[in-house]
Structure 1
């Protein structure tokens, strides 16, 4: 099995998301989130949430990780992991689901983790059914 498959990279995705979560700037909600994305080259890109006193101006961890992926030259998301300390599995918000859809297909795994371990797995298409994506706009 290829060492860059999402399943093989799961421990590394978890470690990267938890490390990013530890750097989150969440003074208002006290809800730190970390995200890690696996790109088409087998590289992992992470991000954390960054809140702002003007609440709508904050940035989600997934959006930060996507920015890191694009900056590094990545164009496809092969897997995503979101980590937050919650009693329920935390998945990307609606806006981040759409942002992920720009770079990922419906079958891409999206794992949820608490502060210690993976607690749930979904496909992006389950989280954002009947989504609108780049393929709707035709060839680029």
Structure 2
């Protein structure tokens, strides 16, 4: 089942726009609706502003109507077992559970699977911002 996420992330990475970092990356999310939402990194001239692959995939998921991440795959062209940056970890945590699997991939497939808690052991969510 996770192979389809890997392939979607790898295919999304091919569409990257990274003229400043030359660091292609891709991500794919399985939403609670069962659909796969993919994204690549997109840079702009005001670098480092732009979108990470995970951010793009989350945006596609939200536009598609899903609100819950069931599973994630991430890949970067020049790195094995690539992990999301800190900002993307927080974004993923917003829509995922602590035990949501995150598949770290290389060009050939999934190298390692970790959970959101592994990536962000002391994550907080919207409840921390609630007015008490």
Residue 113 (structure 2) pairs with residue 121 (structure 1): yes
**Unaligned 5+ runs, structure 1:** 1-7
Residue 26 (structure 2) pairs with residue 17 (structure 1): no
Residue 55 (structure 2) pairs with residue 63 (structure 1): yes
The answer to whether the 8 Å contact 2:27/2:38 transfers is yes
1:40-99 residue CA offsets vs partner (Å, 9 max, x unmatched): 111100000001221131210000000000000001000110011234311110000000
**What residue number does 1:4 align with?**
none
**Unaligned 5+ runs, structure 2:** none
**What residue number does 2:122 align with?**
130
The answer to whether the 8 Å contact 2:5/2:28 transfers is yes
Query: What's the secondary structure of 2:95's corresponding residue?
Result: coil
**What residue number does 2:93 align with?**
101
1:85-124 residue CA offsets vs partner (Å, 9 max, x unmatched): 2343111100000001110011000111112211111101
| TM-score normalised by the chain length of structure 1 | 0.87
Residue 83 (structure 2) pairs with residue 83 (structure 1): no
More strand by share: 2
126-135 or 36-45, which deviates more: 126-135
Change (3 A) 1:120 1:15: same
Query: What's the secondary structure of 1:46's corresponding residue?
Result: strand
d(CA) in 2 for partners of 1:22, 1:70:
22
| TM-score normalised by the chain length of structure 2 | 0.92
For these two proteins, the number of residue pairs brought into alignment is 130
